[in-house]
Amino acid sequence: MKAIVQRVAQASVTVGGEQISSIGRGLCVLLGISLEDTQRELEHMVRKILNLRVFEDESGKHWSKSVMDKQYEVLCVSQFTLQCILKGNKPDYHMAMPTEQAESFYNNFLEQLRKAYKPELIKDGKFGAYMQVHIQNDGPVTIELESPAATVDPKQLTKLEKQQQRKEKIRTKVPSESSRERNVPRNKDDPSASSGAEGDVSSEREP
């Protein structure tokens, strides 16, 4: 799970020319959910966002207070493009959680935020909609958060992923034909024995 957290003076979300949500001073959070995310990653991100110290205290000391300390608002916007992987110059989003699953996960994220803080201070956009997000960044302060790497439950893996894992295990346990050949002593009279044999094999593997 990835999040871009911005300290804002104000922020709002507009859909189809109509403003559907807005906040004053606080945090605007763009959230990208990956297909490997679980409840563990969700809870980690909720804690990080609410406890991130990006505000000043009463004496003006910077980086001292969280959004909860200051009783400010939080505006969350689902942002699957944060899970993009570039293939050349073309964005690829296969690591983003599929829409139906992601919507339920995102709503759970909002629910956990509201339980941990004050429900009336958590605002959001419209999941899956084409939105215009207006952000008045204060500072500017922009922080990127990423949850620890997920430990995927084997039961949740697809059939193809399981097959790929088995292939990888076989490769690590069983030496390849070329490695077995290298381990077999060659007879000096063997015409195939040459100092360049291994080099020929390795060169064939180059892309």
Please compute the mean of the pLDDT values over residues 105-124 and round it to a whole number.
98
Quote the radius of gyration of the chain (alpha carbons, Å).
26
Parse the chain into domains and list their residue ranges.
2-146
Return the sign of the alpha-carbon dihedral for residues 157, 163, 166, 167.
Answer: negative
How much of the chain, in percent, has pLDDT values that exceed 90?
A: 71
- Tell me, yes or no, if the pTM score tops 0.95: no
Contact predicate 109/97, CB 8 Å: no
Which segments within the chain are labelled E, that is strand? 2-15, 18-23, 26-32, 73-78, 85-87, 90-92, 122-124, 131-146
Q: What is the pLDDT of residues 1-60, one digit of tens each?
A: 999 999 999 999 999 999 999 999 999 999 999 999 999 999 999 999 999 999 999 999
> Residue 4 forms beta bridges with which residues?
30, 144
Q: What is the pLDDT of residues 87-98, one digit of tens each?
A: 999 999 999 999
> Residue 34 forms beta bridges with which residues?
96
Contact predicate 106/29, CB 8 Å: no
* CATH of 2-146 given 3.50.50.60, 3.40.50.1470, 3.50.80.10, 3.40.640.10: 3.50.80.10
